Chains A and B, each alone.
Chain A
Amino acid sequence: MKRRITKLTALLVAAATMTSMGAGSAFAESTEAEGALDLSKAKGVTIQFWNSFTGSDGDVLREFVDRFNETNEDGITVEMDIMPGDTLTEKLAPALTAGTAPALFSIHDMDVANYAGSGSVESFDDYFDVTGADKDDFMEASLTGLQLDGHQWAFPMEWYTQYLYYNKDLFDAAGITEVPDTWEEFADTAAKITDPDKKVYGAGLCVSGGVPWMNSMIISNGGAVLSEDGKTGTLSSDATKQTLDLIKKIADNGDTPIGNTGADLDNLMSADQLGMVVNGPWMVNGLKENEINFGVAPIPQGTACRAGITEITAFAMPAGISEEQKAAAYKFISFWNDKDNSKEWSLRNGFPPYQKSVAEDADIQADELISTFSKISDYGVVFGQGCDVTAAINSDVLFPMVETVIGGGDAQKAMDDAQAALEALLAK
């Protein structure tokens, strides 16, 4: 009896494990679509759309989705589920494996290698042929940043790089007239603004949950986190040491709050308690709502160049999606990329356009903020394309490294530890 139970248990476990593996390989095979997609199949289809637009841009996105649902002539319904970025990442991977992912979801360019490499997402290779959209109207980098092995695995939704936000009132109070153009000037300016009695900090350097500002800083000082082929860690360098020394100088002076997340710094900036912070375009609406007298400038340059990591938020579809759902998703993406809608998204949220026709629009060019945000083409740098641990490099290597330095740790040791962590991560 005992032997029979043991056999039965082993069989069940093996069956459970092998069934799951089988599901995975089935997805991988289903990415090979056959025949041209018929968009008329989208009629009356309801699709789910997961994304992480939790900020004020999420309200605008809701309006767009509602408008699409009301106006599209095919009776397509998009049901949207907005969740925090971490939740989306952690929920999406098992959902893709289990075959329960929605027809449409947002990912970042740094996720493409994971999802595409594992055969979890459907390609957009036929998008332009099926929808008739003009491929030449899209800025090349917005598409190539979402490609792997020559296939289009995701489709641009918005893109951005990093910018320097500064509080004009705090600049005036400190008698500063020039916006810092180099990282050295950034540190000096921060020291002048900081006022401990008023709990005002000159600079905000986040240690998690924000844009990877330190990566931009390292590149601008002539360094690099990864080798050109993305397979070797090159963090340990004079440029990184120089970067960390400057960060340590700012932190040791008490010119940045310790251990703050990106969201914490947003709050400080919105409360007139922060002089400068590096962030993306989404910060604009919050500052406007809080009536902060602010300005936006290009990210400071280092000793070698000016560089800001470019990130692309993109639409993606699960591998094996039905033709009906894919057709409905394409219809919604076409609506999103309609010139008027793209222009409205840029003007209301401040994101730089990725379509040339939108970028050339008179209203867009007349907008001072979007004009600054459009400098993405001047200094935007794509990081870790094709590397399947890019997000982990940010969260598990770069942010902990600066967190240690800002918390009072030794810069050299922090760099050495980070290099070791990077190598371990790449070895996986």
Chain B
Amino acid sequence: MKKFKDFWFRQDKVAYVFLMPSLVILFVFAFIPLISSAVIAFMHMDIFFSDVHPAGLTNFINAFKDGRFLNAIKNTLVFALIEMPLQILAGLLIANLLSHNSFFNKLCRSVFFIPVVCAMSAIGVVFSLLLDGNIGMVPYLLSKFFGVRDISFFREAQWAMPTVIIMTVWKNFGYTMSILIVGIQGISQDYYEAARMDGANKVDEFFYITIPQLMQSLGFCIITNLIGSLQVFDQVYVTTGGGPQRKTETLVYYIYKTGFSQPYDLGYACAMSVLLLIVILILSVPVYLRIFRPEER
């Protein structure tokens, strides 16, 4: 016991003791499931664990033959590659406008942050009601004042994905804005004063001072947002259920449906999860390396 205490309470080891609660949680809820799903991906296994046997690479090969999987990959990429830049752009522009600590700006920041703390499921229900083709206020107003036919935003193939993207941007841009506001406030005013003396206008300041100085914060936002977008699930689950015509069926949604409803195919669902992890790594690692180059660390 004494040896144990002496070892772990040494000054260079005590940090691990403080880290232990987080490490245990990570190990139980992230590491074990991650490894387990990688193992299950190579097995034929349903959720009832009946008739479990090795599958080799069958689940992975089947994924590439499965049109629904490829469609889900396409939808996920479309969502991520449109939603992420839109959210970053909206957050950046509004952060730039609201970076000064006036009362009005603080009020606006609080208002824009409210959707961030709301549950996506609640927001999904609200949007579903507002945009409902039969009873929604938005289609009604569009029809009454602009003569637009009643659009069922979540039910028509050409509108469903854009609507899910816009709803997600609306909900999440406040988070990006908050991070970027902190980043902008951390930029020394000396740069701006020097630029103004050199005749720079607001646009020049934005492009030549604000954005370069914000690269670390922007990089964090891009990486976290990209990973989050590739795992999009709850807004689809609540609003469209993957429809219409599977136009909004994303990969995580398809994984969930495959594993937790008929055919309850856990092995195949895990194989798709592993493939999703690979997609996330392929997209996010180069972004990470590009933004956090050694000279910028």
Residues on A lying within 8 angstroms of B by beta carbon are: 9, 12-14, 16-17, 20-21, 23-25, 27-28, 86, 89-90, 93-94, 96-97, 114-115, 117-120, 199, 207-209, 257-260, 264, 267-268, 271, 273, 388-392, 395, 400, 403-404, 407, 409, 420-421, 424-425, 428
Instruction: Give complex CA distance A400, B246 in Å.
Output: 8
Hey, which chain B residues are within 8 Å of A259, CB to CB?
Answer: 133, 152, 154-156, 243-244
Task: Decide: A16 and B155 in contact? CB cutoff 8 A.
Answer: no
Task: Decide: B40 and A90 in contact? CB cutoff 8 A.
Answer: no
Task: Decide: A17 and B40 in contact? CB cutoff 8 A.
Answer: yes
Instruction: Give complex CA distance A209, B241 in Å.
Output: 10
Instruction: Give complex CA distance A258, B132 in Å.
Output: 12
Known: A94-B47, A97-B47. A392 touches B262 (CB 8 A): yes
Instruction: Give complex CA distance A9, B262 in Å.
Output: 32
- Residue in A closest to B33 when the chains form the complex, CB atoms: A16
B189 at the interface (CB under 8 A from A): no
Most buried by A among B50, B67, B157, B243: B50
Task: Decide: B36 and A16 in contact? CB cutoff 8 A.
Answer: yes
Known: A89-B261, A259-B155. A13 touches B35 (CB 8 A): yes
Number of A-B contacts (CB under 8 A): 112
B135 at the interface (CB under 8 A from A): yes
Instruction: Give complex CA distance A236, B184 in Å.
Output: 61
Known: A93-B264, A119-B48. A260 touches B32 (CB 8 A): no
Instruction: Annotate B150-171 by CB proximity to A: 1 below 8 A, 0 otherwise.
Output: 1010111100000000000000
Task: Decide: A267 and B245 in contact? CB cutoff 8 A.
Answer: no
Task: Decide: B49 and A20 in contact? CB cutoff 8 A.
Answer: yes
Task: Decide: B262 and A118 in contact? CB cutoff 8 A.
Answer: no
Task: Decide: A114 and B155 in contact? CB cutoff 8 A.
Answer: no
Instruction: Give complex CA distance A89, B241 in Å.
Output: 15
Task: Decide: A114 and B262 in contact? CB cutoff 8 A.
Answer: yes
Hey, which chain B residues are within 8 Å of A114, CB to CB?
Answer: 48, 262, 264
Instruction: Give complex CA distance A403, B241 in Å.
Output: 13
Task: Decide: B245 and A404 in contact? CB cutoff 8 A.
Answer: yes
Interface bin, chain B: 35 or more
Hey, which chain B residues are within 8 Å of A258, CB to CB?
Answer: 133, 152, 155-156
- Residue in B closest to A13 when the chains form the complex, CB atoms: B35
A-B contact pairs, 6 of them (CB 8 A): A14-B39, A24-B50, A118-B48, A257-B134, A258-B155, A400-B246
Partner of A118, one of B40, B50, B132, B245: B50
Hey, which chain B residues are within 8 Å of A267, CB to CB?
Answer: 134-135
Smallest CB separation, B213 vs chain A (Å): 41
Hey, which chain B residues are within 8 Å of A420, CB to CB?
Answer: 67
Instruction: Give complex CA distance A331, B263 in Å.
Output: 33
Query: Which residues in window 30-70 of B have CB below 8 A to A?
Result: 32, 35-36, 39-40, 46-50, 52, 66-68
B260 at the interface (CB under 8 A from A): yes
Instruction: Give complex CA distance A14, B42 in Å.
Output: 13
Task: Decide: B263 and A117 in contact? CB cutoff 8 A.
Answer: no
Instruction: Annotate B261-278 by CB proximity to A: 1 below 8 A, 0 otherwise.
Output: 111110010000000000
Task: Decide: B49 and A199 in contact? CB cutoff 8 A.
Answer: no
Task: Decide: B263 and A388 in contact? CB cutoff 8 A.
Answer: yes
Known: A24-B50, A259-B152, A388-B263. A13 touches B36 (CB 8 A): yes
Task: Decide: B261 and A391 in contact? CB cutoff 8 A.
Answer: yes
Instruction: Give complex CA distance A260, B152 in Å.
Output: 9
Instruction: Give complex CA distance A264, B133 in Å.
Output: 10
Hey, which chain A residues are within 8 Å of B263, CB to CB?
Answer: 388-389, 392, 425, 428
Instruction: Give complex CA distance A258, B153 in Å.
Output: 11
Partner of A13, one of B39, B133, B134: B39
Instruction: Give complex CA distance A118, B135 in Å.
Output: 43
Task: Decide: A264 and B134 in contact? CB cutoff 8 A.
Answer: yes
Smallest CB separation, B237 vs chain A (Å): 9
Hey, which chain A residues are within 8 Å of B48, CB to CB?
Answer: 24, 27, 93, 96-97, 114-115, 118-120
Most buried by B among A12, A114, A117: A114
Hey, which chain B residues are within 8 Å of A388, CB to CB?
Answer: 262-263
- Residue in B closest to A201 when the chains form the complex, CB atoms: B134
- Residue in A closest to B44 when the chains form the complex, CB atoms: A428
Smallest CB separation, A317 vs chain B (Å): 15
Instruction: Give complex CA distance A391, B35 in Å.
Output: 31
Instruction: Give complex CA distance A73, B211 in Å.
Output: 75
Task: Decide: B50 and A28 in contact? CB cutoff 8 A.
Answer: yes
Task: Decide: B47 and A13 in contact? CB cutoff 8 A.
Answer: no
Task: Decide: A207 and B134 in contact? CB cutoff 8 A.
Answer: no
Most buried by B among A13, A20, A199: A13
Instruction: Give complex CA distance A255, B285 in Å.
Output: 51
Hey, which chain B residues are within 8 Å of A25, CB to CB?
Answer: 49
Task: Decide: A21 and B134 in contact? CB cutoff 8 A.
Answer: no
Instruction: Give complex CA distance A96, B50 in Å.
Output: 12
Partner of B244, one of A17, A207, A257: A207
Instruction: Give complex CA distance A114, B265 in Å.
Output: 11
Hey, which chain B residues are within 8 Å of A421, CB to CB?
Answer: 68
Smallest CB separation, B32 vs chain A (Å): 6
A13-B39, A118-B50 provided; 20 other pairs, C-beta below 8 A? Answer: A13-B35, A13-B36, A16-B36, A24-B50, A25-B49, A89-B260, A90-B261, A93-B264, A114-B262, A118-B48, A119-B50, A258-B155, A258-B156, A259-B156, A260-B134, A273-B134, A391-B262, A395-B262, A425-B263, A428-B265
